[in-house]
Amino acid sequence: SLTSSLFGDLLDAVKPGHVVPVLVPLPVPEAYSYAVPDGMMVEPGSVVQVPLGPRQVLGVVWDGEDGFGGDPKKLRPITLAFDCPPLSKEMRSFIDWVASYTLSPPGLVARMAIRAPAALEPEPMVEALRYLGGEPERMTPARARVLDLIRDEVPFTRSGLAHAAGVSLSVVDGLIQQGLFETIFLPPPPVVALPDPDYVAPRIEGPQKQAASELVEAVQAGGFSASLIDGVTGSGKTEVYFEAIAETLRRGKQVLILLPEIALTSSFLERFQDRFGAKPAEWHSDLAPRMREKVWRGVVTGEVRVVAGARSALFLPFEELGLIIVDEEHDPAYKQEDRVFYNARDMAVVRGRIGDFPVVLVSATPSVESQVNGLSGRYHMVHLPTRFGDAAMPDLHLIDMRRHPPERGGFLSPVMLRAVKKTIEKGQQALLFLNRRGYAPLTLCRVCGHRFQCPQCSSWLVEHRFKGQIQCHQCGYSERTPEACPECGTLDHLVACGPGVERIAEEVEKHFPDARTIVMSSDLLGGVKRMRLELEAIAKGEADIVIGTQLVAKGHNFPLMTLVGIVDADLGLANGDPRAAERTFQLLSQVTGRAGRTGLKSHGLLQTYQPQHPVMQAIVSGDATAFYEREIGEREKALLPPFGRLASIIVSADDRGEAEGHARGLRAAAPKATGISVLGPAEAPLALVRGRHRFRLLVHGRRNSDMQGYLRTMLTNGPKVRGSVHVQLDVDPQSF
């Protein structure tokens, strides 16, 4: 069905007087009909503005017969068509595919690919000054500096000239008044400079050469292919996929690199620049609005050749995309769980198939799904078994916390503290990793046992001692940490249970009062900018001890970091999720992989109460194969993904009974189908979020079952959505 929709005939441009279907950004199943006014030319993919009730909204003219049988004169006309290239047939097929796979309204998927009208206006010309010759009435040192700069017929903007000469604007204005310059208009500067595939010679050696040539061959062969680069941290995977990028650029195609934490990986952009002479354009939620518009336009027109972006970059309408790289493909951040629920890793492969170009997945710890695809030959596997150069993997050891307990009130074993001490005495860095923000995950009253719970969610409030607050990590609710227990009124009897990074920082401070410490978590005041600065400071060796959440785990290269200590290696294992072991293994491998990126000898220490657990054994033995084999075997037995299919349906409502009733109604509407069964409804893992009660149904199917058809039938035959009820579908949920 993919190919038939793909190569269906292109519709002719639609003539005025016709009616066209337009996708609007609403949760409705189909396009709406609009009339094309006289004198307007639109075609499928055209970005338009249309009236919708009292509003004007952005929409896209869509494919297919218009279903409207009535008199076109009764329809509201399209307000305006923007002057930008229409979304390609390829992009439209991709949007349709994602909508039908995720059972999302196509208009909401299309909304991710188009930008607001301002983005569509071309960049204005830049006003600049050019020297006409002649001298000022009176020469001053400041005026001489300005004239020296501009004499060589190089035009400058007014402020650029003042800045370069180190003078105030009034000096330049004085010269303008004397008629020494003329005003000219220059084309706007490019969004980003053009990357050059041959800027420097490829930096690949040994096993990297074979790996790179396999990827380059895939690019040269043309057409769709999926490869998986599986190589330990520091093996040089980035350098290897850079060669596939270079080859794609030589062939005149655009490249998309997906990264899970792009806002924090400025070092990646610099590495790219070292190889290609220019940085890629960035795409993520922290981009300034003006830059966002520039990049979007550059991608559409083809001016931007390479984008490094977060998952949403997958929906950019590239002029001619020729390669997608998905770095850290196992990362849970690729899953969007909001409005349109999609996994960018999986949808990247779909986009490659529709666009007929190669997709490269990259990881030191590939997801079980990608491993299975690699083993079955669906993905081409590329291995890089060792670290590049003289960098060695860290020596990894478990600290059995039952035998080496921390002192009272502490969380760091004496073994860990000794290792930190030795490391910083050598002038090297230690990282203490704990994936928990704040001071303590639970606060209770010692007298009456009262626990602080979020008033609108089923989650405990987390103490943030630096800010003097208790916060809900689900909804962001916060209040000042009370002095007295609200239940029994006792003063000063609140106790913090368990550690967060702030509490570990306090313990470190006690043991190492003279060490320079940095706490890295998303609570840092100053946001992404501050985090980038702190990461740079760490890389430059300006800290001795770093205490951090997973923010420090990803992709960074800290040359002096020779000790990584995991405060609670068991943390992710307890939640009963079938993916818990895999996720914990991936996170621990990634964090310990921060150590020993140079020739220095390095160590990883993991504090655990379950040293025999398969995850701990896999980490210290360095034998991932046995671990994956076991995981894959268990998934296969239980017919869990990728050996079976799952979807979750979350029904939420203001009223608990209403949510549960609707969920039961859906369950009753489930058709009979062999190989598909429905579990639940049961209270969702988070039963209350922002005051809304949540119930969950899990749909489980065999690998080749028609999950989407089944879900559609359930929704059509089930109770009508009314009142405060909301139904959210998640095909391929991350946790189940």
Residues annotated within the binding site are 445, 448, 454, 457, 472, 475, 485, 488
| C-beta of 234 vs 733, nearer to ligand ADP | 234
Angle subtended at Cα 253 by Cα 247 and Cα 259, rounded to the nearest 5 degrees:
80
Q: Is the peptide bond before 260 cis (omega within 30 degrees of 0)?
A: no
| Widest CA span in the chain | 94
**Which residues between 637 and 666 bind ligand ADP (CB under 6 A)?**
none
Distance of closest approach, residue 459 Cβ to Zn ion, in angstroms: 6
| C-beta of 99 vs 472, nearer to Zn ion | 472
Binding partner at 557 among ligand ADP, Zn ion, none, C-beta below 5 to 8 Å by kind = ligand ADP
**Which string of x and - marks every residue 434-473 that binds Zn ion (by CB under 5 A)?**
--------------------x-xx--------------x-
| C-beta of 454 vs 591, nearer to Zn ion | 454
Q: Please tell me whether residue 624 adopts helix, strand or coil conformation.
A: helix
Could you say which of 63, 66, 90, 239 contacts ligand ADP (CB under 6 A)? 239
Q: Does 535 bind ligand ADP (CB under 6 A)?
A: no
Q: Please tell me whether residue 189 adopts helix, strand or coil conformation.
A: coil
| C-beta of 598 vs 617, nearer to ligand ADP | 598
CA distances from 185 to 133, 156, 178, 188, 192 (A): 19, 11, 20, 9, 20
Q: Does 272 bind ligand ADP (CB under 6 A)?
A: no
Binding partner at 477 among Zn ion, ligand ADP, none, C-beta below 5 to 8 Å by kind = Zn ion
**Which residues between 476 and 515 bind Zn ion (CB under 5 A)?**
477
Q: Does 517 bind ligand ADP (CB under 6 A)?
A: no
**Which string of x and - marks every residue 547-566 that binds ligand ADP (by CB under 6 A)?**
----------x---------
Q: What per-residue string of b and e applies to 628-663 under the rule 16 or more CB within 10 Å gives b? A: beebbeebeeeebbbbbbbbbbbbbbeeeebbbbbb
Closest CA to 298 of 89, 123, 508: 123
Q: Does 234 bind ligand ADP (CB under 6 A)?
A: yes
The dihedral through the CA atoms of 286, 291, 297, 299 has a sign that is negative
Neighbours of 729 (CB within 10 A): 20
Q: Does 509 bind ligand ADP (CB under 6 A)?
A: no
Sequence-ordered list of residues with C-beta below 8 angstroms from that of 640, at least 6 positions apart, any chain: 578, 634, 646, 736
| C-beta of 474 vs 557, nearer to Zn ion | 474
Distance of closest approach, residue 168 Cβ to ligand ADP, in angstroms: 44
Distance of closest approach, residue 535 Cβ to ligand ADP, in angstroms: 15
Q: Does 400 bind ligand ADP (CB under 6 A)?
A: no
Main-chain dihedrals φ then ψ at residue 610, nearest 5 degrees: -130, 65
Which H helix or E strand runs over 91?
helix 89-102
Angle subtended at Cα 522 by Cα 586 and Cα 307, rounded to the nearest 5 degrees:
70
The dihedral through the CA atoms of 96, 101, 107, 112 has a sign that is negative
Binding partner at 343 among ligand ADP, Zn ion, none, C-beta below 5 to 8 Å by kind = none
- Cβ(546)–Cβ(552) below 8 Å: yes
Q: Which span (105-113, 197-205, 469-477, 620-628) binds ligand ADP, by CB under 6 A? A: 197-205
Distance of closest approach, residue 391 Cβ to ligand ADP, in angstroms: 7
Binding partner at 231 among Zn ion, ligand ADP, none, C-beta below 5 to 8 Å by kind = ligand ADP
Binding partner at 213 among ligand ADP, Zn ion, none, C-beta below 5 to 8 Å by kind = none
Q: Please tell me whether residue 261 adopts helix, strand or coil conformation.
A: coil
Q: Does 602 bind ligand ADP (CB under 6 A)?
A: no
Closest CA to 230 of 382, 392, 391, 389: 382
Closest CA to 279 of 295, 268, 293, 294: 268
| C-beta of 8 vs 455, nearer to Zn ion | 455
CA pair distance 430, 279, nearest whole angstrom: 31
Q: Does 474 bind Zn ion (CB under 5 A)?
A: yes
CA pair distance 35, 78, nearest whole angstrom: 6
Q: Which span (66-74, 237-245, 293-301, 539-547) binds ligand ADP, by CB under 6 A? A: 237-245
Half-sphere CA count of 71, side-chain side, radius 13 A: 2
Closest CA to 33 of 52, 15, 10, 12: 52
CA pair distance 602, 234, nearest whole angstrom: 13
Distance of closest approach, residue 553 Cβ to ligand ADP, in angstroms: 12
Q: Which span (235-243, 317-325, 527-535, 644-652) binds ligand ADP, by CB under 6 A? A: 235-243
Q: Does 305 bind ligand ADP (CB under 6 A)?
A: no
Distance of closest approach, residue 622 Cβ to ligand ADP, in angstroms: 16
Main-chain dihedrals φ then ψ at residue 296, nearest 5 degrees: -55, -50
Closest CA to 421 of 518, 548, 508, 519: 508
Distance of closest approach, residue 172 Cβ to ligand ADP, in angstroms: 44
Q: Which span (77-85, 198-206, 247-255, 304-312) binds ligand ADP, by CB under 6 A? A: 198-206
Q: What distance lies between CA 716 and its chain's CA centroid?
A: 33
| C-beta of 375 vs 539, nearer to ligand ADP | 539
Q: Does 233 bind ligand ADP (CB under 6 A)?
A: yes
Distance of closest approach, residue 257 Cβ to ligand ADP, in angstroms: 12
Binding partner at 472 among ligand ADP, Zn ion, none, C-beta below 5 to 8 Å by kind = Zn ion
For Zn ion, how many residues bind (rule: CB under 5 A)?
7
Could you say which of 33, 46, 225, 235 contacts ligand ADP (CB under 6 A)? 235
Could you say which of 130, 203, 465, 493 contacts ligand ADP (CB under 6 A)? 203
Alpha-helix residue ranges (DSSP H) falling in 323-440:
344-355, 368-375, 414-425
Q: Does 475 bind Zn ion (CB under 5 A)?
A: yes
For ligand ADP, how many residues bind (rule: CB under 6 A)?
14
Q: Which span (176-184, 228-236, 244-252, 404-412) binds ligand ADP, by CB under 6 A? A: 228-236
| C-beta of 208 vs 248, nearer to ligand ADP | 208
- Label residue 83 exposed, middle or buried (CB < 10 Å: 0-12, 13-18, 19+): exposed
CA pair distance 43, 36, nearest whole angstrom: 10
Q: Does 109 bind Zn ion (CB under 5 A)?
A: no
The secondary structure of residue 460, as a DSSP letter, is B
CA pair distance 99, 35, nearest whole angstrom: 25
Neighbours of 65 (CB within 10 A): 7
Binding residues for Zn(2+): 445, 448, 454, 457, 472, 475, 485, 488
Q: Does 348 bind Zn ion (CB under 5 A)?
A: no
| C-beta of 444 vs 535, nearer to Zn ion | 444
Q: Please tell me whether residue 27 adopts helix, strand or coil conformation.
A: coil
Question: What is the rounded end-to-end Cα distance, in angstroms, of the chain?
Answer: 29
Binding partner at 466 among Zn ion, ligand ADP, none, C-beta below 5 to 8 Å by kind = none
Q: Which span (148-156, 201-209, 484-492, 615-623) binds ligand ADP, by CB under 6 A? A: 201-209
Q: Does 624 bind Zn ion (CB under 5 A)?
A: no
Please report, as ranges, the residues that interact with ligand ADP according to CB under 6 A.
Answer: 203-205, 208, 231, 233-239, 388, 557
Please report, as ranges, the residues that interact with Zn ion according to CB under 5 A.
Answer: 454, 456-457, 472, 474-475, 477
